[in-house]
Structure 1
Amino acid sequence: MEKKSLSERDICTKFITPALEKAGWNKLTQFLEEVSFTDGKIYVRGKMTARGERKRADYILYYKPNIPIAIIEAKDNKHSVRAGMQQALNYARILDIPCVFSSNGDGFLFHDRTATDAQIEEELGLHNFPTPQQLWEKYKKYKGITTPDAEKIAAQPYYADGSGRNPRYYQQIAVNRTVEAIANGQNRILLVMATGTGKTYTAFQIIHRLWKSGAKKRILFLADRNALIDQTRRGDFKHFRDKMTVVKHRQIDKSYEIYLALYQGLSGSDDAANVYKQFSPDFFDLIVIDECHRGSANEDSAWREILSYFKNATHVGLTATPKETEETSNSEYFGEPVYTYTLKQGIDDGFLAPYQVVRVALNVDAEGWRPEQGKTDKAGNLVEDRVYNRSDYDRKLAIDERTDTVAQKVTEFLKGYDRFAKTIIFCVDIDHAERMRSAMARHNADLVAENYKYVMQITGDNDEGKRELDNFIAPEERYPVVATTSELMTTGVDAQTCKVIVLDANINSMTKFKQIIGRGTRINEEYGKRYFTILDFRNATDLFADTAFDGDPIRIKPVSEEEDLSGIVEEDANNTEPIIDEVSGEEIDLTPQAPVIRYPTLPSSGDTLQEPRQKVYVNGVDVSVLVSRELYFDNQGKPITTSLKDHTKGIIQGKFASLDDFLNRWNSTERKDAIVAELLEQGVMVEALYEAVDKEVDLFDLICHVAYDQPPLSRKERANNVKKRNYFTKYGPQSRKVLEALLDKYADEGITNIESMDVLKVKPLTDFGSPVEIIKGFGTKSDYLKAIKELEQELYKLA
């Protein structure tokens, strides 16, 4: 058979695969074909979702199952041997692979990412593909692996439980880079991975490989919340079985190899409570610190003492939100991250759920509120005369009607969406969460009457609520549906089915904002969770526009302690992230404090000692919603600041320079849904535009109108224009009826439905016979498809 007539897959089967096998690559264990390494970005269209295309490599070659060392991009023989190189290089960069090949079946173009000279690219004959050992040597050079001991550690396989679960590509990179860094002698390592991307599973694979290889014999996993320890022990770490223990008692059994512990369980205010000192300083070889941006990030914190005590161990920090402030620096302690996988990358790859944002502006927030003369609070005291604003509400001043309006708006949204969508309402403090629970219960009295757990306050001080936390998290549990909280649910809550996040708290900390958004980013297809909605009452989502939201953390702590401290700006009081004691619900102070002696100030004659002003509670205030609008985001995840129409116009004109360019592409494309998919990939929000145009037009008219200012025709108008032209006279009676039915179908549902053969299996087309009988009326299948193509051309004839 002529080589140029073969498909790309045939080229792989007949030429590339045999060349690999001849070079010594085992097809069963050392290379995979057509490897999809992303899930495909999820696009939200109103309440509907669609998956974009997965990224797929034609071949990935492995030295060991956990070590990808080469990638091959194949093309058919109509292309040159070089044609696939740019795509292969892009995939190699994403996958952290050093050896890159392109082939069309005649030979290979080899790009060596370890080379720095003219040998960076060379052509190889079809029968001169490198052996596994040759490419392994390239990989070792790429990773700086220079000793037999380092090679043994780096080559240690992953844990496999027989379920077929393998690390995703970014988890594989995170594990490999960490293990390789440790094999090369690095002792402080930072991994930054967005919430919902499997940090605990990644930690398990790191620990397992180092433990199995003998590089690390005794390991401590540190966290600061019971929920994190419990999830870890019952989840991925369960495979350690009897080699693992949770440190719970003051007397420690030192016969185990894997220890899970809370900071609070190891340390205390005196030596008797400092349980960690029962271990010798060199007891642990490896310490993995979960959520390392929290307590241990501060060098003067009590918890940092634990890390300092075990300073000879290798320390691996895990976080979604590395902390870089004037006082605290993760990078100062751990160094720069060996790998970063961001929320944006996770959404683009389809591993994390995208979000919609609805911004709600209340009159008292936008305009402020000033009490009228003589206004008293609910206790009968005069309210201080000044203008109160968003930063005051629920922290200094609580307005009953404001709380009620927020609850009413959230309820309205759920009634139009799904009243049993798991929802977290983030409040200013515990008191606010308590009042919000009551307001939500009033507005959802019907469902609360069925089960009082429909809405629950889940805060640190509320035992009943805390007992329901696991039920809120569990996908299979219906109740609680709505959780009101302040701090307790910001981290360590694996809420896979949380579909709505309500922000009614002032959030000035980027770390806290990222953690809160992370509560919604998990996907659970089984329970219909593909995206989540953020209802923002405090303009907190302005932080999406901050370059710090999805960029690399920039160290801002002064390098030298001798530097002038006068220029340091003290953090805003709201820019802290308190650690909440799970029993008392109170904030834990992690910084050792010197005793402070306070001398009483005696009042002068006629003065009285002033008590700190308490929160003021008022009612009888007119509160209303000024505006509620959906906030749109571009393809890079940034808020769109221009109008949606202008933003879309720019994207479409960037792809099709003129109306003629678009018409040529539209008429030459076999299936119009391919153009829809392309525009989605570019970030065009088709459904939102349909709502903006407010007319039953199809995509063709939508694009022509938005991008090229053409007056739009509705689908019905286009269908009627075709009928007026007596276009059907060349067909027999039965075929004319089929085409007229397809036109009506187009008028109702759009062009992509009539392009599908499945349309012949639904009413009213089934009235004309089976699909085979309908097609036979046109002649052959090719004749039927030609008739559909001509019908489309008639539909889109421009006046």
Structure 2
Amino acid sequence: MSDDLNQNPEQIARDKIDEMLRQADWIVQSKSTIDLSAGKGVALRETNTVSGSADYMLFVDRKPVGVIEAKKEEEGHRLLMVEEQSVRYSKEPIKIGAFTLDNEKPFVYESTGTVTRFTDYRDPKPRGRTVFSFHKPETIADWLKKGKSLRERLLSIPPLDETGLRPAQIVAINNLETSFKNNRPKALIQMATGAGKTFTAATFIYRLLKHADAKRVLFLVDTKNLGEQAEQEFMTFQPTDDNRKFTELYNVQRLSSSYIASDSQVCISTIQRLYAILKGEELDESAELDNPNESSWMQKRMKTNTPVPVEYTEKVPIEQFDFIVIDEAHRSIYNLWKQVLDYFDAFLIGLTATPDKRTFGFFNENVVSQYTYEESVTDGVNVPYDVYTIETEISQNGETVKAGWFVDRRDKLTRKKRWQQEDEDTAYKRNDLDKKVVNPSQIRNIIKEYKKALRTTIYPNRLDENGDYEVPKTLVFAKTDSHADDIIKIIREEFNEGNDFCKKVTYKIDEDPKSVLNRFRNSYYPRIAVTVDMIATGTDVKPLEVLLFMRDVKSINYFEQMKGRGTRTINSDSLQLVSKTAKTKTHFVIVDAVGATKSKKTDSRPLERKPSIPMKDLLGAVTMGIADEDLFLSLANRLIRLEKQITEKEKDKLLEFSGGKNLKQITKELITAFDQDAIDEKAQQEIDKIPKVDRTPALEQEAKQKAQEALILEAGKTFTGELNEYLDNVRKQHEQIIDSINLDTVTKSEWETTTVDKAQQIVTDFSDYLKANKDEIKALSIFYNHPYNRRDITFKMIKEVMEKLRLEKPLLAPDYVWDAYVTLSLSKGKMAPKQPKDELTALVSLIRRVCGIDSELKAFDKTIDENFKNWMFKQNAGQHNRFTPEQVAWLRMIKDHVVSSYHIELDDLDYTPFDAKGGKGKMYQLFGDEMDNLINELNEVLAA
């Protein structure tokens, strides 16, 4: 530090630049020691050009390739102003006495040693950008070898082959590539969960590698689980212009250590691992299980006063990646983790379903594609949802544990119970449930009602061949790990099932959570999974049909992510592999047992960043002087919650240890320490004391830094060993009371009004669509205009209606419209119509209902069965047993054919199943000249 004080600012900047160059493998030389053969890259100080002296001239393989213009640190704000000077040096010949060396030098830097800007003047419209450090000589040699710059190569990407892509994916890729061509450094793709974000990414990454000759692309995630999913996507991706898989064409490496293979063209990594690589640290794999906002790295941070910033890493230069794709970009790209993205000289592409204001800001508001959940549902990409509400008396109004009652008290973490007699009344509200008080009856009543509603209302048609009800795949969101345990125990009891039926899927279970999740996704058991956060976001479980909310969520982004678990489409065959009685996934159901769909939501970020770290550790870290935003906000969040829990007597006692500050004041100081407005306001007070002529950006920045340090100090000095011990102890006293005495009752169990309204709208829309197309589609024309010709409607005609419906109105799929009729019937207290065996039969049934042929919705296959029975009865009325048993068997085969094909022709008798019984000839042998009349009569009678 003392050496710096004795040097002038220019020399300090030069020393820093020298060190940066050496780290990037440049050999720094002066004129007196010049040896351009000393290495691949040489940075020569004070090199003369025709009009002046360049601070550094860069040589690669003995040829001049670029210049660096150095400025002192306090002139960082002026780097843009010296671009003209540095580009002049880059274009002018080098002057060596009476000789000149004329060579274009396109790679131009301006640097203070702290801030560095770079321009590649080979670009179509050269535009400077801030870089973390200098590029390596090997990189520049490679760039020159390729001839055109990356940004120029991007201009020649050919038009997109749209085969196999959804419209939203086409828009996203085309707009993103336009953004690249316009040299926009950041771009955000907002695409609804389930709409194929990763497939979209694989498509444009393939195009960047093939058509723009990108060197390497990083696919950045924030959990190991997401990384594994992305790897699977690349392994299965096959481009339309090649019959090989992506991984046969390009090397894809999912980082599991600090080693990045030199021949890998796509790297998949968690942001935690990349941060550790840049820090030169080993990463504990557990840090990749949760996204960084939840990972527990506090123990390491306890050893240092401040998180150490990222520094240049020779093994991973700034140009390691040309493009970085950030999955779930709304989550973990801020604060500490932002350094990882700032380090690399790369285009940044964000993928998210739920961006917030910060996300838009980070990506410079360059949203290249916005594809909402509502749009995805309209397009048939995702399925819609209905809301079913369950309310209980205690869920809504709470209860009171009375003085004198003997109750269990349970430690939240150890689950250890102790029995005691209460010496005072304890009233608890709905928000206290499963935190301050656990009421098993409240959980039990919700689960019992859910079981009942499944069978009667939510998915009534799910009986297997044995008459047993098959529970649809259900995901339950619990408040805490302890709450999840209580729910699982009661689910197993109420459904009378074993351990395999309902499982917990969190990172704290003894079983491998990944294995349990895979079974939930791909196997019959478990039918129900209970989670806290692990499956809340970014995890695919396509067969999911019910989300049961037993915890409220205040963050709108988090809630949308949680809802996204149910939106995924799945083909019928795959669905039936895990849910045998399910026909198609037309929608999913949110069962709201806590008012999650109605509670007020906010798009503000949650304060809690370290939920897995004990409060004792948070208190100790602040006391030891660790100044970290996540730490301060997490502790503030814990203290906010504690302030609502402790008694007035405990609050008074706390003042003795805190220097007279109450918890609200302490909390405010913690939040203010990282509140930019508060920092600016405090800094401005100091800046105002400085004469205007003396104010510089460097001084203003220094004032802001000092202001924040003062706010951090003020917030941190409150915490002492005595206060910490008191806060930790007073928190521990709040065990959970197990209220097994107050019994709960269900007060509401029904579809939300909006769901009934939506069902009515679907029925109306379907009816309107049929009417609008009744003259265009032959089958509809017959139903509406010539109902006496229904006997002529063929399988092909019905298929035509179905295909047109799927193409134009995917939301009016027959199964979904049928479910809407079921919802309306149940809302009126009527029996739910039993669904036909397939969608085409359901479609015929629906058309008959809309056209007025049937007064109530009923399955057309059942109608045919009834019509056949009535016809047979009439045939036998005049003469006993008109048909022989063999003839009856043939007539039943005809009836079964009409059930599946809606019509029978004489030529159909030559095909299955008639051909095996003798075909057309056999029928003529049995019925003689009556054969033609019987077929015509059955076509007419059965379709009546």
Q: Same fold per TM (> 0.5)?
A: yes
Does residue 1:456 correspond to 2:503, yes or no?
A: yes
Question: How much has 1:351 moved relative to structure 2?
Answer: 4.5
Amino acid at match of 1:289: I
Does residue 1:671 correspond to 2:793, yes or no?
A: yes
Instruction: Find 2:209's aligned residue among 208, 211, 230.
Output: 211
Question: How much has 1:218 moved relative to structure 2?
Answer: 3.0
Does residue 1:402 correspond to 2:410, yes or no?
A: no
CA offsets per residue over residues 710-729 of structure 1, 9 Å max, x none? 9x999699889989999999
Question: How much has 1:388 moved relative to structure 2?
Answer: 2.0
Structure 1 segment 505-544 matched on structure 2, within 5 A: 505-520=551-566, 521-528=568-575, 530-531=584-585, 533-534=588-589, 536-538=591-593, 542=597
Q: Provide the C-alpha distance between the structure 2 equivalents of 1:287 and 1:709, rounded to a whole number of angstroms.
A: 57
Instruction: Find 2:370's aligned residue among 340, 351, 369.
Output: 340
3-state SS in 2 of match to 1:210: helix
- Paired position in structure 1 for 2:338: 304
CA offsets per residue over residues 462-511 of structure 1, 9 Å max, x none? 34352534533552x45544322101111232223434432211123332
Question: How much has 1:755 moved relative to structure 2?
Answer: 3.5
Does residue 1:496 correspond to 2:542, yes or no?
A: yes
- Paired position in structure 2 for 1:426: 477
Give the superposed CA RMSD. Answer: 5.7
- Paired position in structure 1 for 2:941: 791
Q: Provide the C-alpha distance between the structure 2 equivalents of 1:624 and 1:598, rounded to a whole number of angstroms.
A: 50
Q: Provide the C-alpha distance between the structure 2 equivalents of 1:167 and 1:525, rounded to a whole number of angstroms.
A: 21
The 3 A distance-change label for structure 1 pair 462 and 694 is closer
Does residue 1:441 correspond to 2:439, yes or no?
A: no
Q: Provide the C-alpha distance between the structure 2 equivalents of 1:582 and 1:783, rounded to a whole number of angstroms.
A: 82
State whether residues 557 and 603 of structure 2, in contact with CA within 8 Å, keep that contact through their aligned partners in structure 1. no
CA offsets per residue over residues 151-203 of structure 1, 9 Å max, x none? 53235889xxxxxx955554444334323431342322111223233322322
State whether residues 898 and 904 of structure 2, in contact with CA within 8 Å, keep that contact through their aligned partners in structure 1. no
Q: Provide the C-alpha distance between the structure 1 equivalents of 2:397 and 2:890, rounded to a whole number of angstroms.
A: 56
State whether residues 640 and 647 of structure 1, in contact with CA within 8 Å, keep that contact through their aligned partners in structure 2. no
Question: How much has 1:329 moved relative to structure 2?
Answer: 3.5
State whether residues 551 and 594 of structure 2, in contact with CA within 8 Å, keep that contact through their aligned partners in structure 1. no
3-state SS in 1 of match to 2:749: strand
Question: How much has 1:288 moved relative to structure 2?
Answer: 0.7
Q: Provide the C-alpha distance between the structure 2 equivalents of 1:276 and 1:772, rounded to a whole number of angstroms.
A: 87
Unaligned runs of at least 5 residues, structure 1: 1-146, 159-164, 549-568, 633-638
Does residue 1:599 correspond to 2:629, yes or no?
A: no
- Paired position in structure 1 for 2:390: 360
State whether residues 357 and 534 of structure 1, in contact with CA within 8 Å, keep that contact through their aligned partners in structure 2. yes
- Paired position in structure 2 for 1:466: 513
- Paired position in structure 2 for 1:388: 429
Question: How much has 1:210 moved relative to structure 2?
Answer: 1.0
Instruction: Find 1:230's aligned residue among 228, 242, 248.
Output: 228
The 3 A distance-change label for structure 1 pair 402 and 213 is same
3-state SS in 2 of match to 1:182: helix
- Paired position in structure 1 for 2:818: 685
Bigger CA drift: 761-770 or 517-526?
A: 761-770
Q: Provide the C-alpha distance between the structure 2 equivalents of 1:392 and 1:672, rounded to a whole number of angstroms.
A: 62
State whether residues 496 and 524 of structure 1, in contact with CA within 8 Å, keep that contact through their aligned partners in structure 2. no
Q: Provide the C-alpha distance between the structure 2 equivalents of 1:592 and 1:600, rounded to a whole number of angstroms.
A: 14
CA offsets per residue over residues 229-270 of structure 1, 9 Å max, x none? 223235415717884444454576667543322222233766
- Paired position in structure 1 for 2:757: 642
- Paired position in structure 2 for 1:619: 740
State whether residues 436 and 735 of structure 2, in contact with CA within 8 Å, keep that contact through their aligned partners in structure 1. yes
- Paired position in structure 1 for 2:272: 264
Does residue 1:293 correspond to 2:330, yes or no?
A: yes
Bigger CA drift: 492-501 or 750-759?
A: 750-759
CA offsets per residue over residues 503-523 of structure 1, 9 Å max, x none? 211123332233223323141
Bigger CA drift: 642-651 or 526-535?
A: 642-651
Question: How much has 1:616 moved relative to structure 2?
Answer: 3.9
Q: Provide the C-alpha distance between the structure 2 equivalents of 1:332 and 1:419, rounded to a whole number of angstroms.
A: 47
Amino acid at match of 2:156: K
Amino acid at match of 1:516: M
State whether residues 512 and 577 of structure 1, in contact with CA within 8 Å, keep that contact through their aligned partners in structure 2. no
Which one has a larger percent helix, Structure 1 or Structure 2? 2
The 3 A distance-change label for structure 1 pair 790 and 482 is closer
Does residue 1:314 correspond to 2:464, yes or no?
A: no
3-state SS in 1 of match to 2:597: helix
The 3 A distance-change label for structure 1 pair 489 and 770 is same
Q: Provide the C-alpha distance between the structure 1 equivalents of 2:748 and 2:909, rounded to a whole number of angstroms.
A: 45
- Per the normalisation by structure 2, the TM-score is 0.51
Q: Provide the C-alpha distance between the structure 1 equivalents of 2:739 and 2:596, rounded to a whole number of angstroms.
A: 28
Q: Provide the C-alpha distance between the structure 1 equivalents of 2:870 and 2:524, rounded to a whole number of angstroms.
A: 52
3-state SS in 1 of match to 2:350: strand
State whether residues 473 and 493 of structure 1, in contact with CA within 8 Å, keep that contact through their aligned partners in structure 2. no
Question: How much has 1:295 moved relative to structure 2?
Answer: 1.8
Question: How much has 1:427 moved relative to structure 2?
Answer: 0.7
3-state SS in 1 of match to 2:218: strand
Question: How much has 1:433 moved relative to structure 2?
Answer: 1.1
CA offsets per residue over residues 373-405 of structure 1, 9 Å max, x none? 76665223467654623x443244321122233
State whether residues 387 and 752 of structure 2, in contact with CA within 8 Å, keep that contact through their aligned partners in structure 1. yes
- Paired position in structure 2 for 1:153: 157
Question: How much has 1:319 moved relative to structure 2?
Answer: 1.2
The 3 A distance-change label for structure 1 pair 734 and 700 is farther
- Paired position in structure 2 for 1:175: 173
CA offsets per residue over residues 286-332 of structure 1, 9 Å max, x none? 11101001122x4xx2212322333x4211001122224xxx34365
State whether residues 456 and 465 of structure 1, in contact with CA within 8 Å, keep that contact through their aligned partners in structure 2. no
- Paired position in structure 2 for 1:64: none
3-state SS in 2 of match to 1:628: strand
Q: Provide the C-alpha distance between the structure 1 equivalents of 2:909 and 2:935, rounded to a whole number of angstroms.
A: 12
3-state SS in 2 of match to 1:406: helix
Amino acid at match of 1:402: Q
CA offsets per residue over residues 348-382 of structure 1, 9 Å max, x none? 55544555654333333355545567666522346
Structure 1 segment 570-581 matched on structure 2, within 5 A: 571=604
State whether residues 550 and 592 of structure 2, in contact with CA within 8 Å, keep that contact through their aligned partners in structure 1. yes
Q: Provide the C-alpha distance between the structure 2 equivalents of 1:506 and 1:661, rounded to a whole number of angstroms.
A: 52
State whether residues 403 and 425 of structure 2, in contact with CA within 8 Å, keep that contact through their aligned partners in structure 1. no
Unaligned runs of at least 5 residues, structure 2: 1-150, 236-245, 277-300, 410-419, 456-461, 577-583, 622-627, 633-672, 674-711, 775-780, 835-844
Amino acid at match of 1:290: D
3-state SS in 2 of match to 1:189: strand
The 3 A distance-change label for structure 1 pair 502 and 778 is farther
Amino acid at match of 2:746: V
Larger relative contact order (C-alpha < 8 A, sep ≥ 6)?
1
CA offsets per residue over residues 695-738 of structure 1, 9 Å max, x none? 9897578447799999x999699889989999999xx9769x99
- Per the normalisation by structure 1, the TM-score is 0.59
Counting aligned pairs with the same residue, the percent is: 19
Bigger CA drift: 423-432 or 334-343?
A: 334-343
Amino acid at match of 1:359: T
